[in-house]
């Protein structure tokens, strides 16, 4: 396989949100780069509270950062020019080319702003096409959102602008995948349908031969091929887009299934605060053998936890109110008084402080924090975006910062950019726990404070585990997709003469 020609590409769309577009896009990127193809990911518009800071100080979705890692390239703002960060059910912060440009309601965004951004996103895509052999685009939601088609810049809007072929991914685990493939196609206009090259089944369990009659019927009905049937695999939910949809009951994120090195396991409870952001911070904890991570929303679920994490949030004041209403705030105060470990990250760190002045995010003005750390926070309109490097607990640490709140640390022991008082730690740094030596040192401190005979594994490498996951995604594409046909799509576009399925959209 010699590689795709410069500027080719493909759009990975989905029958629904969470159909698997992000992981399929990452898998195609990893498969292509292993074939010697210089490839980049792209998502014109992303709605997510999980974000990342690039080297140039731009904020993009973590899914695109993960896809860039799959492609073995450095992530840039070009790969995700528009990021929407929900602040409520009605409005989101708009991040354009890596910088926040204001809050906007859904009606206001879809009422004109989104359409005007098409030129920006197509320019970013063209820059990538001029640099890379191939660009693998990820859509959002479904391309058949016919109420939003006029202003669409992320599904068929970008496919039409770039003349990219489209492969539609369907999650068969949900049921109704054939109807979803057919209906998605039949609701599109003739021009849009001409780019729908075919389909890919995701999360299949069982004997593929039982699926083949359905795929043949689908081809007969649509004139389009199924480009792959990807089997269900555990542990592929890496860097999901949306923390709003985390399932609380039994939501244990684990990368490694291995017994603890010491005599005890370590139990970590993550408070599932409203507008939870960058909950991927705890993935590195879950990667440690013997560490059990779960998301919780009730005070009694903190009782048996050895460590409680108050994670980042897009709404610090709202999260504080939620913690108090549910009795979690009192439970955190009791833990601190008993010397039991608590870690606050970003918005969680701010909530653990003494006082917050917020005329920006919540516009609530003066708000009292939980008072567990000697920190006062003032929200500024300019967002801090940084990739800090430092040390803590005798180990080197890297991370990234995304916050409007500026913390004034008034005491305690220094801890990264924040502080520590007894068994309560706080920092703005996301991603710090991905630094292996620091994570092990921190877990040893937690185990000692919790009275657990837990010993961190001496050789767990979060970076290597992430690479293994990305290689597994590449393997899924290589082993279960029609890679020859996919490469032809990337190089030459959608097959000519694809039939129109009525009724279509106007």
Is the Cβ–Cβ distance between 256 and 289 less than 8 Å? yes
Eight-class DSSP state of 495: P
Residue with tokens 């576009």: 493
Write the DSSP assignment of 415-435 as a string of letters.
Answer: ETTEEEETTEEEES-BTGGGS
Residue with tokens 């969680």: 348
Helix 62-70 and helix 462-480, axial crossing angle in degrees, nearest 10: 70
* Closest by CA position to 271, among listed 315, 220, 312, 223: 312
Which residue(s) pair with 255 in the sheet?
Answer: none
Catalytic residues: 346, 430
Alpha-helical (H) ranges within 309-435 are 316-325, 328-337, 347-352
* Closest by CA position to 272, among listed 309, 316, 315, 317: 309
| Phi, psi (deg, nearest 5) at residue 480 | -125, 5
* Closest by CA position to 197, among listed 231, 240, 227, 167: 167
**Rounded-to-integer distance, Cα 148 and Cα 138, Å:** 17
Question: How far is C-alpha 197 from the geometric centre of its chain's CA atoms?
Answer: 27
For strands 395-398 and 342-345, give the pairing: unpaired
Which residue(s) pair with 276 in the sheet?
Answer: 313
Is the Cβ–Cβ distance between 343 and 310 less than 8 Å? yes
**Rounded-to-integer distance, Cα 371 and Cα 350, Å:** 10
| Phi, psi (deg, nearest 5) at residue 363 | 60, 30
Is the Cβ–Cβ distance between 248 and 295 less than 8 Å? yes
Q: Which residues contact 299 (CB under 8 A, 6 or more apart)?
A: 326, 327, 328, 330, 331
Is the Cβ–Cβ distance between 42 and 125 less than 8 Å? yes
Write the DSSP assignment of 126-150 as a string of letters.
Answer: HHHHHH-SEEEEE--S-TT-TTSGG
- Number of H helices and number of E strands within the chain? 16, 27
Of the CA atoms within 13 Å of residue 226, those in its CB half-sphere come to 25
Dig out the tokens for 251 from the structure: 């939501």
**Rounded-to-integer distance, Cα 444 and Cα 436, Å:** 12
């Amino acid at each position: 396989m010699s590689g795709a020609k410069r500027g080719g590409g493909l759009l990975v769309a989905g029958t629904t949100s969470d159909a698997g577009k992000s992981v399929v896009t990452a898998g195609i990127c990893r498969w292509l780069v292993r074939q010697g193809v210089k490839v980049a990911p792209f998502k014109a518009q992303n709605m997510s509270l999980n974000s990342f800071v690039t080297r140039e100080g731009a904020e993009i979705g973590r899914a695109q950062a993960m896809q860039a890692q799959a492609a073995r390239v450095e992530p840039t703002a070009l790969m995700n020019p528009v990021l929407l960060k929900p602040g409520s059910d009605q409005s989101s912060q708009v991040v354009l080319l890596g910088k926040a440009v204001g809050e906007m309601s859904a009606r206001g965004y879809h009422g004109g702003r989104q359409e005007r951004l098409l030129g920006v996103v197509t320019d970013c895509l063209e820059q990538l096409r001029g640099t890379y052999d191939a660009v693998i685009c990820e859509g959002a939601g479904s391309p058949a959102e016919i109420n939003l088609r006029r202003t669409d810049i992320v599904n068929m809007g970008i496919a039409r602008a770039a003349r990219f072929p489209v492969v539609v991914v369907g999650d068969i685990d949900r049921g109704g995948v054939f109807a979803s493939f057919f209906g998605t196609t039949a609701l599109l206009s003739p021009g849009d349908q001409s780019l729908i090259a075919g389909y890919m089944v995701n999360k299949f369990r069982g004997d593929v031969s039982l699926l083949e009659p359905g795929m043949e019927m689908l081809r007969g009905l649509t004139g389009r091929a199924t480009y792959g049937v990807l089997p269900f695999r555990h542990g592929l939910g890496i860097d999901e887009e949306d923390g709003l949809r985390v399932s609380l009951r039994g939501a244990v994120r684990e990368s490694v299934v291995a017994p603890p090195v010491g005599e005890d396991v370590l139990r970590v409870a993550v408070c599932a605060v409203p507008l939870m952001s960058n909950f991927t911070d705890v993935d590195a904890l879950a990667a440690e053998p013997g560490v059990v991570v779960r998301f919780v929303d009730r005070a009694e679920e903190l009782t048996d936890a050895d460590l409680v994490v108050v994670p980042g949030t897009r709404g610090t004041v709202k999260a504080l109110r939620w913690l108090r209403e549910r009795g979690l705030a009192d439970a955190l105060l009791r833990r601190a008084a008993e010397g039991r470990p608590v870690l606050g990250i970003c918005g969680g760190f701010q909530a653990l402080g003494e006082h917050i002045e917020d005329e920006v995010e919540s516009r609530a003005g003066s708000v009292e924090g939980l008072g567990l750390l000697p920190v006062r926070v003032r929200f500024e309109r300019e967002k801090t975006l940084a990739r800090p490097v430092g040390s803590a607990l005798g180990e080197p640490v890297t991370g990234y910062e995304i916050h409007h709140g500026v913390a004034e640390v008034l005491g305690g022991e220094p801890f990264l950019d924040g502080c520590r008082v007894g068994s309560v730690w706080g920092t703005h740094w996301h991603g710090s726990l991905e630094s292996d030596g620091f994570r092990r040192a921190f877990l040893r401190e937690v185990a000692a404070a919790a009275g657990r005979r837990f010993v961190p594994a001496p050789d767990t490498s979060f970076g290597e585990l992430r690479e293994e996951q990305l290689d597994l995604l590449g393997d899924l594409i290589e082993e279960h997709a029609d890679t020859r046909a996919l490469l032809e799509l990337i190089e030459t576009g959608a097959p000519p003469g694809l039939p129109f399925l009525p009724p279509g959209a106007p």
